[in-house]
Amino acid sequence: MKQILFLPKPFGFSVLLALVFLLQTSFAFANPAKYGLPDFSQLAEDNNQVVVNISSIKNVKTANAQAQIPPQFRGMPEELLRHFFGIPPERLKPEGDESTRKQPLSLGSGFIVSADGYILTNHHVIEGADEILVRMRNRKEFKAELIGSDARTDVALLKVNADGLPFAKIGTSKSLRVGQWVLAIGEPFGLDYTVTHGIVSALGRALPEDTYVPFIQTDVAINPGNSGGPLFNLDGEVVGINSQIYSSSGGSVGLSFSIPIDVAMNVYEQLKASGKVVRGFLGVQIQEVTSDLSESFGLEKPSGALVGQVYDNTPAKEYGIEAGDIILEFDGRSIEKSSDLPPIVGITPIDKKVKVKLMRQGKIKVLELRLTSLENSEQLASGNKQIKSNRLGATVEALSSDELKELSLPYGVRVVEVNKGPAEQAGVRNGDILVTIDFKAIQSVKELNQLLQALPKSRSLPMRVIRNGRSLFLPLVLD
């Protein structure tokens, strides 16, 4: 109930302002944890020793002036060298035809994860480096050994020859919540030990070509040089590694992305043990389940990862996963979005038997399987490819046996022209190969026409098509 405060006439305007101020301050101090802003000073002071500066250097061979002169003319008088070659003798280096200079490749950040000198940073910070230098907060410099690096998660592990180092407290990204305060320490543009703060903007972000990392999105100011630095929660625990930004200018615009520390530590343990990462591989092509598709598949709400294609000679094929299955759980973890599946598969040990809960033609099934290694697989599954899903208003044509063989398909018909009607509304395009409607095979143009007459109307039906070599499902509603 809204309340209005009436004041007697003797109360002046200044008294009113004072009263409002007292009310506001007493309200704020009554619950400072809820309404006050955090003080990051102690957190920054406690953790600045664990953050390091990382410089990567490339040894570049350059031709000396001497090497530009044919051997038969070397040793000629200075005047002739200037006249014929334009090279002052003082630039000549008699010790050899080539010299090596150190060319800086990149400047980044990292953080110490153990007292004996293990350091985590980004793969892109040290990629291609011949030499890696680590500078501590006390200005001591070390040459670092690259233990291993994983491009798929953008995580690298370094080692310096030192003991008794301060090291970061590792937390978990699983407990993060949107709106939670976070802090970054790094070296933006080479400015030592810069502290920036913000909040968690989103969790589980899937970025193009980063299928195996469910990024933490924040509005923390991250700039070139912050890469590889830690993201802390208010308890002083590392919850992420700052990795990427979205920017049209190259500077921070409040869209920063960090690798969850749980993903990074999985990579850390593997790199420390063997110098490489073994990642689980299932062997499916997946797509998002839209609201239209969820209705056509009989789901209560859009969720799961829809299997568009199963590759040959993969665990998915061996253990019975089929195109059209919707994977709802993998190894006990719920799959809400299609982008949830690849990171979970990637961190699953290949020797572990896991249960997969899926929906097939309206029925729940549970399969048990073992994964193989992604690195040993010839065919790759991707969860972030752009796949968009007939009663037909379309012209179709038959495919020859040679065309079917080239497409590795047992049957199907090609769409020649899409007109107004169900095909257009479903998203069918010229050149699409229609394979099934409502899980019923389309083996000829005649069979397609017969099937269209028999299918129910005014209900969304899953239609599988092959587009540019990729299998996808479209929600078809017949008039």
pLDDT digits (tens, 9 = 90+) for 306-362: 998 888 788 999 899 999 999 999 999 999 988 889 989 988 888 889 999 999 988
Nearest alpha carbon to residue 111 among 41, 175, 187, 59: 187
Clarify whether 123 is annotated catalytic: no
**Catalytic member of 106, 123, 124, 460:** 124
This prediction has a pTM of 0.64
Mean local confidence (pLDDT), 9-28 = 48
- Domain parsing of the chain, residue ranges: 49-159, 169-274, 280-376, 394-477
Distance CA 97, CA 63 (A): 6
Backbone angles phi, psi at 68, to 5 degrees: -80, -10
Q: Are 167 and 113 in contact (CB under 8 A)?
A: yes
Half-sphere exposure of 308 (CA within 13 A, CB side): 25
Reported as a pLDDT band with limits 50, 70 and 90, residue 31 is very low
- Whether 394-477 and 49-159 are alike in CATH topology: the answer is no
Reported as a pLDDT band with limits 50, 70 and 90, residue 381 is very low
Mean local confidence (pLDDT), 12-36 = 49
Looking at residue 98, its pLDDT comes to: 56
| CATH class of the structural domain 169-274 | mainly beta
Reported as a pLDDT band with limits 50, 70 and 90, residue 367 is very high
| CATH class of the structural domain 280-376 | mainly beta
Nearest alpha carbon to residue 394 among 283, 296, 281, 476: 476
Output the CA angle 260-237-273, nearest 5 degrees.
60
CATH no. for 49-159 = 2.40.10.10
Reported as a pLDDT band with limits 50, 70 and 90, residue 398 is confident
Distance CA 46, CA 82 (A): 61
Topology of the domain comprising 394-477: Pdz3 Domain (2.30.42)
**Catalytic member of 150, 154, 325, 331:** 154
**Catalytic member of 55, 149, 173, 227:** 227
CA quadruple 59, 64, 68, 74: dihedral sign: negative
pLDDT tens-digit readout, 106-128: 789 999 999 999 999 999 999 88
